[in-house]
Amino acid sequence: MSFFTWRIIGPPDRSVKCDQASLPEHFVCLATVESWEKEETLWVDARPRADWKRDGLEGSVLLNDQEDWVDLEPEFVLRILSEPKPRVVVYCNQSGCGSSKYVAEQLRARHSSNLGFEVYVLEGGIKALKGAKGFLE
């Protein structure tokens, strides 16, 4: 039965529901990110390295709380300096995993005002990106 439903109606909607107005400060819905110019966002993957290697967003930079910050940060700083972007969006495995929030707070405290970018946490994390057109289809 579900096979026929799939064929007639299409695959189930697995998109992450998100209401920008109800999110905490510095959190962002994927739909909001989509409304920005694509070239103006640098993506940061706050998941473990193996996950980033497996299915990290193309062009994303690895910056997480499982490895030494001092080992990962230079790659991020060199990237944002060589290709300046006004926005950085951090994602991790799920909402509430805490890693993206931590990474975003570190970037905000250490670099955002000095290097001139805003930092956001993607609501829904990688789940929001998976299946989204133009991201991890």
- Give the one residue of 51, 87, 105, 131 binding another protein; rule: CB under 8 A: 105
Q: Are 43 and 89 in contact (CB under 8 A)?
A: yes
Q: Does 40 bind another protein (CB under 8 A)?
A: no
- Smallest distance, Å, CB 95 to another protein? 9
- Give the one residue of 23, 48, 87, 112 binding another protein; rule: CB under 8 A: 48
Give whichever of 31 and 49 is closer to another protein, judged by the CB atom.
49
Q: Does 78 bind another protein (CB under 8 A)?
A: yes
- Smallest distance, Å, CB 34 to another protein? 25
Q: Are 119 and 88 in contact (CB under 8 A)?
A: yes
How many residues belong to the site for another protein (CB under 8 A)?
29
- Give the one residue of 96, 133, 134, 137 binding another protein; rule: CB under 8 A: 96
- Give the one residue of 5, 6, 53, 66 binding another protein; rule: CB under 8 A: 66
d(CA 121, CA 116) in angstroms, rounded, equals 17
Cβ-proximal residues to 31 (8 Å cutoff; 6+ apart), any chain: 18, 20
Give whichever of 5 and 66 is closer to another protein, judged by the CB atom.
66
Other C-beta atoms closer than 10 Å to the C-beta of 19 total 9
d(CA 48, CA 99) in angstroms, rounded, equals 10
Q: Are 125 and 93 in contact (CB under 8 A)?
A: yes
Strands 27-28 and 61-62: unpaired
Give whichever of 73 and 118 is closer to another protein, judged by the CB atom.
73
